[in-house]
Homo-oligomer: A and B are copies of this chain.
Amino acid sequence: MLSKSEENYLKAIFHLSVKAEKGISTNAIAQQLDTKASSVTDMVKKLSEKELVLYVKYQGVTLTDKGEKIAANVIRKHRLWEVLLVQKFNFNWDEVHEVAEQLEHIHSKKLIDEMDAFLGFPKHDPHGDPIPDKDGNINFLEKSLLSTIDVNMKAVCVGVKDTSSDFLRYLDKQEIALGKEIAVLEKEAFDNSMLIRIGTNEFTISQQIATNIYVKNKE
């Protein structure tokens, strides 16, 4: 049974591995976990002895299959808990992450399986992120940033990149939510701001906003 700390390291390495193909650097992990590089080196050695990561000094780490499966399962738990909190316990999507960070370390296979069933086997969490299945497989769906959508095109909001409370509450205020159709009406060449329409509301969003909203093109 892994400690909370070990699980958090595996999860961090997993998240960092999505984009990178080389080994994940000590510093990157330290930044992700808000800790020091020296602490990372220590932990990475331990995970390596447990055969959860491949580690070559000065060359970063990679998850083994075993480590990847455990990481995916922690993420599965995190996201299922987030769904429960939002769908059954009246949490807003900006309130769930902190509690899910705690709940993801509860050890009980039955609990997570039953919760999955209780929730109707959801495929995505409240932020649009895919929920890994029991075997750790993740269904990454194709999605684009709203900023890449051409003028006069429509797209459906399917996720968020930034998940900070500030950003999520801004989206609430503007009534931007998963599943909403967004029409791109104008793009300002100077600052890449966009005029968009959601329902009958038309308003302008900055590039920073547009690069933090994931959408799926309407075919």
Using CB atoms and an 8 Å cutoff, list the residues of chain A in contact with chain B: 85, 88-91, 95, 98-99, 102-103, 106-108, 110-111, 114-115, 118
Residue contact A102 to B106, C-beta cutoff 8 Å: yes
Per DSSP, chain A at the interface is: helix
Of B103, B107, B111, the contact of A89 (CB 8 Å cutoff):
B111
Given A89-B115, A89-B118: A102 and B107 interface contact (C-beta under 8 Å): yes
Across the interface, which residues of B come within 8 angstroms of A91, CB to CB?
Answer: 110-111, 114
Across the interface, which residues of B come within 8 angstroms of A107, CB to CB?
Answer: 102
Across the interface, which residues of B come within 8 angstroms of A88, CB to CB?
Answer: 118
21 sampled A-B residue pairs with Cβ under 8 A:
A85-B111, A88-B118, A89-B110, A89-B111, A89-B114, A89-B115, A89-B118, A90-B114, A91-B110, A91-B111, A91-B114, A95-B110, A98-B108, A99-B106, A99-B108, A99-B111, A102-B106, A102-B107, A102-B108, A103-B106, A106-B106
A85's nearest neighbour on chain B, judged by CB, is B111
A102's nearest neighbour on chain B, judged by CB, is B106
Kindly state the separation between the CA atoms of A89 and B102 in the bound complex, as whole angstroms: 20
